[in-house]
């Protein structure tokens, strides 16, 4: 192949390349945008700062509380212990209880459940304390009620929490917070006492979900001052059973007594008939 032939082939290839470049060339506006993006790039640290762990936890709590925004604000100004009357109750609900703080250090002196001697449900637990002992909030939240009830709770506080629960603290001697006040878990809210329907100094403590009094010991290990799990699963069926347990038990006892009475009556009648037959034979 001659030199002229090689030169001609190379020139032809260059012409084809130039033609292809001209055919597939990007618009000049796109080129300018691309160059601008490259020239104005900055390190990520200039725009974003790594948040401390505490800030991340606070953000998480805020997101969780936003999910319960409707529940948290529902009928907040109610003067009743149960502010959710008439609201539909879900079958189950997972409740975050990981930041629990024991309201007092005292142990349980009276459990949740049916009180046969009073013929009513005891909707919380009684915790040992002395008059003047500090009572703290069990979870983060906002104070809904500070009130007095002579024939019941005495001086009591109701706190609505970010996790959807409400807690009730009864038989107090002094309030340390006001309605509407935002509080943290472990923050002092009152001093213990012996007010209202009380047989001695103690804290009456309730945990409620949508107004329903749930057994606090289902959530909390009071012996060690911690929750059993980070997430408590509310189950409406279990709640319904616990509410019916006392009356059913009482009715069952009455039913047994009635059956025993009938049996005794039948036995007496049978004995009487047997006695009459025996008397006739003797004659």
Using DSSP's 3-state secondary structure scheme, residue 12 falls into: helix
Measured CA angle at 19 (ends 17, 25), to 5 deg: 95
Using DSSP's 3-state secondary structure scheme, residue 3 falls into: helix
Instruction: Tell me the C-alpha distance between 67 and 65, whole Å.
Output: 5
Identify which has the larger pLDDT, 279 or 34. Answer: 279
Quote the pLDDT of residue 42: 42
Report pLDDT digits (tens) over 71-114. Answer: 678 899 999 999 998 888 899 999 999 999 999 999 999 899 88
Quote the pLDDT of residue 158: 98
Report pLDDT digits (tens) over 4-16. Answer: 666 666 666 665 5
Instruction: Tell me the C-alpha distance between 227 and 74, whole Å.
Output: 26
- What is the rounded average pLDDT for all residues in the chain? 77
Instruction: Tell me the C-alpha distance between 232 and 161, whole Å.
Output: 14
Nearest to 140 by CA among 177, 106, 97, 104: 97
Report pLDDT digits (tens) over 181-213. Answer: 999 999 999 999 999 989 899 999 999 999 999
Q: How confident is the model at residue 214 (pLDDT cuts 50, 70, 90)?
A: very high
What φ, ψ does residue 41 adopt, rounded to 5°? -65, 140
CA dihedral 56, 59, 61, 65 (to 10 degrees): -170
Given a cut of 50, whether residue 156 has pLDDT beyond it is yes
């Amino acid at each position: 192949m001659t030199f002229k032939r090689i030169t001609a082939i190379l020139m032809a290839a260059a012409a084809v390349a130039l033609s292809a470049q001209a055919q597939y060339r990007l618009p000049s506006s796109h080129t300018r945008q691309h160059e601008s993006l490259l020239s104005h790039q900055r390190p990520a640290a200039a725009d974003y700062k790594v948040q401390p762990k505490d800030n991340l936890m606070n953000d998480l709590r805020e997101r969780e509380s936003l999910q319960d925004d409707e529940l948290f604000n529902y009928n907040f100004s109610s003067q009743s212990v149960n502010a959710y009357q008439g609201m539909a109750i879900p079958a189950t609900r997972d409740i975050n209880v990981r930041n629990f703080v024991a309201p007092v250090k005292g142990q349980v002196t009276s459990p949740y459940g049916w009180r046969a001697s009073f013929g009513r449900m005891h909707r919380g637990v009684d915790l040992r304390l002395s008059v003047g002992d500090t009572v703290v909030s069990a979870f983060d939240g906002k104070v809904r009620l500070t009130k007095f009830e002579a024939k019941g709770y005495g001086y009591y506080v109701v706190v609505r929490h970010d996790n959807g629960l409400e807690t009730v603290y009864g038989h107090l001697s002094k309030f340390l917070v006001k309605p509407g006040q935002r509080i943290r878990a472990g923050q002092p809210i009152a001093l213990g006492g012996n007010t209202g329907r009380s047989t001695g100094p103690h804290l009456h403590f309730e945990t409620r979900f949508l107004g329903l009094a749930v057994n606090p010991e289902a959530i909390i290990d009071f012996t060690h001052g911690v929750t059993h799990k980070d997430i408590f699963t509310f189950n409406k069926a279990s709640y319904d059973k616990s509410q019916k347990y006392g009356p059913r038990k009482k009715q069952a006892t009455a039913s047994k007594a009635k059956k025993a009475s009938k049996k005794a009556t039948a036995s007496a009648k049978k004995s009487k008939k047997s006695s009459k037959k025996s008397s006739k034979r003797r004659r």
